[in-house]
Structure 1
Amino acid sequence: MTTRYVLRELNRYPLGTFADIIYRNAILHPDSEAFVYGSERVSFKQFNERVNRLIHGLHALGIQKGDIIGILSWNQLEYPEVFGAAMKGGFVLAHYNPRLHAKELVHVINDSEPRVLFLGPELVETIDGILKQLPKTEYFLSFGDVQGQIKAYKGMLEGQPIEEPDTRVTEEDPLTIFYTSGTTGMPRGAIYKHRQKMENTCMKALDIGVEFGNRHLVVLPMFHIGGDSHIWPFFLKGGCNVIMPVPFDLADALRAIQEEQITDIHIVPTQLVSLINLPDIDKYDHQCLKRIWYAASPMPTEILKQGLSVFGSKFIQGYGLTESGPDVTVLSKENHHFPEESTDAQSVLASCGRPCVGVHVRIVDDDGRDVEVGKIGEIVVQSKRIMTGYYHRPEETKETIRDGWLYTGDLGYYDEKGYIYIADRKKDMIISGGENVYPIEVENVLYRHPAVKEVAVIGVPDPYWIERVHALVVLKENAQTSEEDIIDFCKEHIAKYKSPKTVEFVDDLPKNPQGKILKREIRSKYQE
């Protein structure tokens, strides 16, 4: 009879790493469900074995600890497997947004230069068309169909062992790169270590109140740090992540909530609008839901009222950004109610909450001095979970992280109880359907149109998108074009979600004496 030393087995991987958590859960909760995707159900033991196979398969290709691997995919079961392989194998995983235009994908992929690129089946044709522009990427592995140089993911795993790999990671090793648009419109990679990922996961589990057995419906894209950051707290606590395809069908999501007994869901306001307006929402039992976390853009009060009437006081709001890990503040369930006699409670709902556990927040003026209660300044953040820096951009890193404080570029103020309110967003950024759009990137494309003389791109209120991308265009003398032509022109050069949804032709744009276009004045017209 063989004696098992369970405690010694649990000590195999270093603390402060997800290698430890993946292995630990495989031992402590081997048969509990870790992930569900359609008809596939994967236990913690099976997940660990699949991750091990992938690590051995990558080693067979010559990929070693510290090498960058990339993933371009919508949500599916293989996505967390690839991240798990990075966590245990010491690879650095770069996430790419499938919504990007092919030209933009060339930029971000070549920026991080992954040796291997994992592809969702919908992206095979796109990548096949730009293969020659990706000289540093040696292997292309598809989760579905294969084409030319793009080989099968499953084929690489065949015959690989399930035994633990020899690679050892430490909490100070780099783990992952999430791309975020820069204020110049060029995507920048925010790089995180194992320690920072673990810190964020543990603190988020605490803020949410995750317990063993909780079940999370994954509807946000995993390539965004916001979507990814909600998966691992449930994994950490032995919960289950039920993955929905992106984009997901609303009725399917409600059916999954009922059938899978979902306790948690993380959405953006646009998705809540769609859910509460679904005609047959009452057909589905959603009483199992304990928490509905929303983020990515402000939630209009009227929509929140409707959400509360349908789902009850189950809402939690989070504020953060890619560079912050992401969580900075949280507005708890206890704050989400509408007592008619309490104006204080309603005003708090206009806030983004108070600092999360393990996060320090200051509001500072242009000289870096703390401002008084109620005064607007820049939100700066300090925590152990903020990014290490921008990948290959030391000067931009120094500008963003100063003396240990992350300068968000977001303007806000705080009240006497410590609630933080966003006054304006980073560099005029638009948040449309949960996606960040930087006007300058859209404007740069529009200025290439032969009929355009001047342009200003802003976000305007929209009942579905919350904000939509709106372009004000001044045409060159005697030039002619149409709204449809302008929009189609943008779609040829940038992602569809970044392209204007509406175009307004104007004679001129308001400017200050220095000739700078006054966007605040333009926006005010649409917010009246």
Structure 2
Amino acid sequence: MASMMPVSRSGAERQSHMVAARYVTSLVGALERYAGQPALGVGPDVLEFQEVLGGARRLAGVLSGAGVGRGSGLACVAGSNRPEVLLVRIAAHLLGARLTQVLAGPALYGLDHILRDCRPDLVVHDVPVPGTGAPLLDLAELLRRAAGHEPGAVSVQAREDDVARVTYTGGTTGRPKGVASTFGAMAARNAVQPAAWAESVHLSVTSLAQRSGGRCLEQWRAGGRVEILEPFSPGEFAAACRRLGRVSTYLTTSMLYRLLDDPVTARGVPGLEAVSYGDSPVHPERLREAVTRWGGRWRQGYGTNETAVICRLSPADHDAAVGGRPELLASVGRPVAGVEVEVRDERGAAVVSGRTGEVWMRSAAMMTGYWGRPRLTAGVLRDGWLRTGDVGHFGADGYLYLDDRVHDVVMVHGDNVYCVPVEAALTRHPGVGQAVVVGRHSELTGEEVCAFLVPAAGYAPGPGIAAEACDLVEKELAPAHRPTAVFWEQAVPLTARGKPDKRRLRDRAARG
């Protein structure tokens, strides 16, 4: 990748190149410091901190013998959220390898492309994978070898400016893109867990190959316990919360909706103390339902694969929202420490609060670039700033509001129609549990707005509800925002990352 080629280094850069990556050394220190305490559970089986570290060191020894080392590419493809992939991740970090983790499933796009593109020196897997020319090692065999391997003291080979991970985007706008992040950037991303959150058990229910894996490591740094629940269902989630007693978790938007609509969890989840969320926009009315019904501490993190967390809506913000400032629930919060955010117009000039434009950001936590794609990298990285591709605006009080994705804006008679406000207006109808809006070609207006609706619990889909919901859109926004076509769904199709699959919905809308 052109933007990652070695260049002449200053004294500070040379020193950074020689010092072990603090993202890894701090994790090892925590695993040693909290030895004897429970760290990782799956039902009745619980590993203590020293067992997690010992298991990771054994895996590192086996992987090293298989040729994996500093700068090597290691791909790990698993068919489920099995806890061993967390130990594989730590082992890769100890060795300074470039890790790509994938959770295989029916919604995953382009596994063959990902495994070619990340250029692995070894592929560890527990599901069938396409041949890429790289050696393959079954995960069960890796674990068997590691069980008979002495853990030893594995020195940390990773360095600050080595590429730690190449994670892949969802591929909904084309082929998945590899996002390269250094160990230094991973350290800048590493959030300090609030003490009250670390005191609870972190119940992991989303992909360990994506954000949840990092959250588990954050929990361990603070001495907290992690519990893995696979697969997710409202009933099993509620049972785990009751069993564990004090739980914090991270939920995708679709999981939040499922919990709200399930009779077991709709009114409350005993044991659930703290909830993080933020993978895709949450409709404010539904979020208010959850916060007021369940109580507890809530926080939202807005970010992308390329950026880490950009803005946060804090627990205090959620309390203020239900206490008289409901508009805050439509925002993604204010920029976090160490992150600069600007909203810019098409020419790249910053606009004033209230004006809509593309969200730009810069921080030490952002990606190095798209793996092996210098042209794409040059298109989003400008003078140290990163273009997120999100469209939004700042309120007068410094809160950021997202309106759409740049590529999702619907052009009606040449005017921009942003999907998020339309979706929010549709879900204000009590009969609409979820709404996703896309555009399709129109001979009359260029493009037209199409809405995919999921009925709320207790309501049957029908033209009457659809018309009333569209009336709300026209009343709150403008006639051009009113959907011209409505499709009822039992559930919105999701990508492998749990987000609404707008590419699939555009195809359905185009077919009429």
Partner Cα distance (1:183, 1:319) in 2: 19
Q: Which of 56, 61, 64 is residue 66 of structure 2 equivalent to?
A: 61
Instruction: State the Cα deviation string for residues 248-298 of structure 1 (Å, max 9, x = none).
Output: 122121111121123311101221122123223389862x43321111111
> Alpha carbon RMSD of aligned pairs, Å?
3.4
1:4 maps to none
Is 2:358 the partner of 1:369? no
Greater mean deviation of Cα atoms: 411-420 or 57-66: 57-66
Query: Which of residues 57, 61, 73 in structure 2 aligns to 1:52?
Result: 57
User: Aligned partners of 1:188, 1:216: CA distance in 2, in Å?
Assistant: 30
Measure how far apart 1:42 and its partner are: 1.2
Cα distance in 1 between the residues matched to 2:352 and 2:504: 39
Partner of 2:220: 235
Q: 2: distance between equivalents of 1:97 and 1:459?
A: 30
Aligned residues of 1:183 and 1:438 also touching (Cα < 8 A): no
**Which residue does 1:258 correspond to in 2?**
242
Match of 1:526 in 2: none
Match among 386, 398, 401 for residue 418 of structure 1: 398
- Asked if residue 170 in structure 1 is aligned to residue 170 in structure 2, the reply is no
Pick closer, same or farther for the CA change 1:23–1:184 going to 2, 3 Å. closer
CA distance in 1, matches of 2:268, 2:187: 36
- Equivalent position SS for 1:187: coil
The 1:242–1:14 alpha-carbon spacing in structure 2 relative to 1, beyond 3 Å, is farther
Please, which of 297, 319, 341 is the counterpart of residue 280 of structure 2? 297
Distance 2:293 2:437 in 1: 34
Match for residue 97 of structure 2 among 78, 81, 91: 91
Residue 53 of structure 1 deviates from its aligned partner by 0.5
Closer, same or farther: CA 281–158 of 1 in aligned 2, 3 Å: closer
Alignment partners' CA distance in 1, 2:58 and 2:181: 24
Q: Write the mapping of 1:77-476 to structure 2, written as runs, cut at 5 A.
A: 77-99=83-105, 104-120=110-126, 124=127, 126-127=128-129, 130=130, 134-143=131-140, 152-166=141-155, 168-181=157-170, 184-201=173-190, 204-205=191-192, 212-224=198-210, 226-245=211-230, 247-281=231-265, 286=270, 288-324=271-307, 326-337=308-319, 342=324, 345-428=325-408, 460-462=452-454
- 1:474-513 CA distance string (max 9 Å, x none): xxxxxxxxx9xxxxxxx9xxx9966449935778xxxxxx
1:168 Cα deviation from its structure 2 partner: 2.2
CA distance in 1, matches of 2:155, 2:510: 63
Distance 1:381 1:159, change over 3 A: same
Q: 8 Å contact 1:94–1:177 — kept in the other structure?
A: yes
Q: Compute the displacement of 1:383 (Å).
A: 0.7
Secondary structure of the 1:177 match is strand
SS at match of 2:104: coil
**Aligned sequence identity (%):** 23
Please state if 1:21 is matched with 2:32: no
Match of 2:41, SS state, is strand
- 2:273 and 2:296 in contact (8 A); partners too: no
By how many angstroms is 1:182 displaced? 5.4
Ranges in structure 1 where 5+ consecutive residues have no aligned partner: 1-12, 144-151, 444-453, 465-482, 484-490, 508-528
2:337 corresponds to which letter in structure 1? V
Give, in whole Å, the separation in 1 of the partners of 2:450 and 2:170: 16
1:265 and 1:291 in contact (8 A); partners too: yes
Post-superposition shift, 1:341?
A: 8.3
CA gap of 1:184–1:171, structure 2 versus 1, over 3 A, is same
Query: Aligned pair in 2 of structure 1 residues 328, 189: CA closer, same or farther (>3 Å)?
Result: same
Separation in structure 2 between the aligned mates of residue 102 and residue 235 of structure 1, nearest angstrom: 29
1:359 to 1:275, Cα distance in 2 relative to 1, 3 A:
same
What TM-score results when the alignment is normalised by the length of structure 2? 0.75
Greater shift, 78-87 or 333-342, is seen at 333-342
For residues 173 and 40 of structure 1, what CA distance do their matches in structure 2 show? 35
Aligned partners of 2:345 and 2:351 also within 8 Å:
yes
Which amino acid is the alignment partner of residue 73 of structure 2?
A: I
Q: Is the 8 A contact 2:358 2:406 kept in 1?
A: no
Aligned 8 A contact 2:200 2:224 in 1: yes
C-alpha contact (below 8 Å) 1:114/1:136 kept by paired residues: no
2:432 corresponds in structure 1 to none
Aligned residues: 426
Relative distance call for 1:338 and 1:56 in structure 2 (3 A) is closer
Superposed displacement of residue 216, structure 1: 0.6
Report the 3-state secondary structure (helix = DSSP H, G, I; strand = E; otherwise coil) of the residue aligned with 1:418.
coil
TM-score using structure 1 length: 0.73
Find the aligned partners of 1:213 and 1:15 in 2 and give their Cα distance. Answer: 29
Give the 3-state SS of the residue equivalent to 1:392 in structure 2: coil
Cα distance change on mapping 1:279 and 1:370 into 2, 3 Å: same
**Letter in structure 1 aligned against 2:219:** F
Unaligned runs of 5+ in 2: 1-17, 410-418, 424-435, 441-445, 457-486, 488-494
Partner of 2:11: none
> How far off its partner does 1:166 sit?
4.3
